[in-house]
Structure 1
Amino acid sequence: MKLAVYNVENLFDRAKAMNLDSWEDGRPVLEKFAALNGLLGQIAYSPADKTRMVELLHDLGLEKSDTGPFVILRRNHGGLLRRPRTGGVVIEADGRADWVGSLELRDEPVNEHAMRNTARVMMDIEADVLGVIEAESRPVLAAFNSEILPALGGAPFRHVMLIDGNDERGIDVGLMSCEGYPIGTMRSHVDDRLPNGQPVFSRDCPQFEVTTPSGEKLLVLVNHLKSKGYGGTAASNAKRKAQAERIAEIYRGLIANGASHVAVIGDFNDTPTSAPLAPLLEATDLKDVFTHPAFDDGGYPGTYGLCNAANKIDYILLSPGLFGKVRGGGVFRKGMWPGSRPRRWDAYAEVGRPADAGSDHAAVWAEIDI
């Protein structure tokens, strides 16, 4: 069986603020969007809250219209604000119950070449079970599977599953599997909570039970941990550590209940020696497939960007029962931009510029005798 994980960075549409040349370009927008969304969701708005809301509306290009360059304010009912003819914005609502609507990030279509290169990667790695990171929704993932893969000559996966998570940007995690690898029992951890009441997982930590042709049961936990793209460093690290602690707790519970074939896969947004990932990488018996003697990293230690050691952020972690059955593994980078001076790896001919890459992430795979 070949198990793989791939951050596709959206399939058809992506938030405009996340589709700029770099994370740093979109970071201010995402931070202000999160700040304004948090204020708008409060039960009561203080005068200071209202002042800050006006500042953020201005910064997000919503001073004169509900549609800004990166954000849309949807007002379905009630009076949130008014825009006097003399200019500016006045917040009239005194709390969330005074109006009905939402603040949303604007989407734009993914580059057509990038979309096709994403599909090529999904086809060429020939995974039996594929964890997918940053897919918009199950209908979108299913449409990509049934329409785009066959259009490029690929065989669609037989099973496609994705459970909506906590992220408002349309970047969820899911699982696809081939004929003979049905997805059975599923469990979401979308509602797990921190002591302060906030969700543990930025997206989710869905748990999928997959049955192999031999009848063995494989439990796959798919993850996308808190990014470093926006938010303060200390807060992001704390969030990622809490997520790693909860995944470790879930894993230990599965093992205690008799599971022996468990895989924790995904984009963890941090490096193997980082403190936030220590509860998962050091305090459990999970093993990174990168450390297996049969694993080939292709000459580069990372999985993101130019694949330096500091960019090793995508993982396949295996329980000892699975790690002992690994027969090979590697990093598939043909859908990534290889750099230009020099080109670091062979890429698809269609990856003529960074914007044409299927993703900034490589796909990671492991061949397991199960």
Structure 2
Amino acid sequence: MKIATFNIQNIFHRHSDLVEMEHEKKSEIWREEFETLLFRENCSAKDFIRMRELANLLGFHKAPFQEQLSMQNIDGNLHIKSPGKVMETKATYLTDWNGWTKLKSVPISKKAIKNKAKVIIDVNPDIILLQQVENRQSLIQFHDVFFNGNENSSYNEIMHIQGNDGIGLGMGILLKRGYHIKSIKSYSNERDTIGNMLFNSDFQQYKIKTPKNGTVVLLSCQLADENASIDLRKRQAEKVSEVYTNLMLKGYKNIIVVGTLNAPSYSDSISPIMESGILDIIKHNSFSVMSDSGTDASYFRMGAYRMGVNIMQKDYLLASPNLYKDLKKCGMNRKGMWPLKKPEWVTYDTVENEKDAASDHPLLWAEFKLEDSIQLYKKSA
């Protein structure tokens, strides 16, 4: 049984507020790189190409993101205009209205969408849990376009639950034939001591029936990010730990916690989870990921996944002790991530710049010594 988790950062469209926030975070990195290249004495042809890319990213050569949709009545026609597209629908002369409306989302590039699928297909998990999925229809369409035509990669059950954020950061799960969702529980209605929603995104629990009628419990969560308070993240982590501990006390032995915890493993804000007895797959001897290039391959950055994998750990796949002892192999796919700055790693050929990236997050996967749906059904056929 192979399980994976991936913060996909939306599939087809992303809320404009998130796009603007991410641009602000990355612009400082881009600025530093641009200045370094600008003052380099002997720039190569590759350096000049990169400087042009950075100039575009920093807005030197193009207009800023247009987040308004303009509408105008011209001779009885309602003209709706957005960047790169004009549509017309009939209106009466009585509706002589001109104005604008704020766009809520930004389309994700076709290359990025294909790279999102490529990351998942390369790992080919039996069960994959996704964070930051805008809606169920997008998840179904994504599956139908990229996975449905191949028996080995197709998923039989697809589920999406929207959380508390209101900007398309819901969670999804896809299961191959033989695995079945027995029950789902969302903790989106959990409240803190003063009555506010505890989870600004969500925390969800899935009980999964395996092909041989076993049960695996999956806990998927996204904790508060760096823009929220550390105290809020810790209170969220305490709830995740409480649910995990209660499941263990009830006799469930096969439990997995996945998701974006938004803090390195040593952080006090997620200590309730990390100290609950659950184990991180990146500590397993079989953990596999291509190392950073050059001297960074032997470097261990504070808060990174491990030596030679020098990206800050925010995403986790944690297994209960009973499952951890049955862990065959595990790893990370970050070939769909664009390295914003040193260190660098090997990416897909289709990831040529930032906008082609599948996500800013890696995909984590783990294979356990439990039944495999596709192989099991092929043997019994």
- 1:15 is aligned to 2:24: no
User: How far is 1:341 from its partner?
Assistant: 6.6
CA distance in 2, matches of 1:71, 1:271: 38
CA contact (8 A) 1:209 1:220 kept: yes
Q: Which residue of 1 aligns with 2:77?
A: none
Q: Which residue of 2 aligns with 1:155?
A: 153
CA distance in 2, matches of 1:314, 1:224: 9
TM-score when normalising by structure 1: 0.72
Find the partner of 1:293 among 285, 301, 313: 285
Cα gap change, 1:137/1:146 in structure 2, threshold over 3 Å: closer, same or farther?
A: same
User: How far is 1:21 from its partner?
Assistant: 8.2
CA distance in 2, matches of 1:209, 1:297: 29
CA contact (8 A) 1:17 1:26 kept: no
Find the partner of 2:264 among 264, 271, 284: 271
Q: Which residue of 1 aligns with 2:177?
A: 179
User: How far is 1:24 from its partner?
Assistant: 2.9
CA contact (8 A) 2:290 2:346 kept: no
CA distance in 1, matches of 2:185, 2:224: 20
CA contact (8 A) 1:207 1:219 kept: yes
CA distance in 2, matches of 1:276, 1:178: 35
CA contact (8 A) 2:265 2:274 kept: yes
- Alignment partner of 1:365: what SS? strand
Structure 1 gaps of 5+ residues are 28-67, 73-102
Cα gap change, 1:178/1:215 in structure 2, threshold over 3 Å: closer, same or farther?
A: same
CA distance in 1, matches of 2:254, 2:326: 10
CA contact (8 A) 1:18 1:26 kept: no
User: How far is 1:209 from its partner?
Assistant: 1.1
Find the partner of 2:310 among 308, 311, 318: 308
- Alignment partner of 1:277: what SS? helix
User: How far is 1:184 from its partner?
Assistant: 1.5
- Alignment partner of 1:239: what SS? helix
Question: What is the 5 A alignment of 1:89-100?
Answer: none
CA contact (8 A) 1:286 1:320 kept: yes
TM-score when normalising by structure 2: 0.70
Q: Which residue of 1 aligns with 2:319?
A: 318
Cα gap change, 1:112/1:337 in structure 2, threshold over 3 Å: closer, same or farther?
A: same
**Residue identity opposite 1:117 in structure 2:** N
- Alignment partner of 1:218: what SS? strand
Larger Rg: 2
CA distance in 2, matches of 1:110, 1:207: 29
**Residue identity opposite 1:168 in structure 2:** G
CA contact (8 A) 1:174 1:222 kept: no
User: How far is 1:143 from its partner?
Assistant: 1.6
Q: Which residue of 1 aligns with 2:163?
A: 165
CA distance in 1, matches of 2:358, 2:351: 8
CA contact (8 A) 2:329 2:368 kept: yes
Question: What is the 5 A alignment of 1:177-256?
Answer: 177-228=175-226, 230-231=227-228, 236-256=229-249
- Alignment partner of 1:22: what SS? helix
Number of residue pairs the alignment of both structures matches: 291
**Residue identity opposite 2:19 in structure 1:** N
Q: Which residue of 1 aligns with 2:374?
A: none
CA contact (8 A) 1:290 1:297 kept: no
Find the partner of 1:109 among 98, 107, 110: 107
Deviations 1:164-202 (A, max 9, x none): 110111111121111111111111111011111111112
Identity %: 29
Cα gap change, 1:339/1:165 in structure 2, threshold over 3 Å: closer, same or farther?
A: closer
Q: Which residue of 1 aligns with 2:357?
A: 357
- Alignment partner of 1:308: what SS? strand
User: How far is 1:345 from its partner?
Assistant: 2.5
Cα gap change, 1:341/1:190 in structure 2, threshold over 3 Å: closer, same or farther?
A: closer
CA distance in 1, matches of 2:250, 2:274: 21
CA distance in 2, matches of 1:208, 1:341: 38
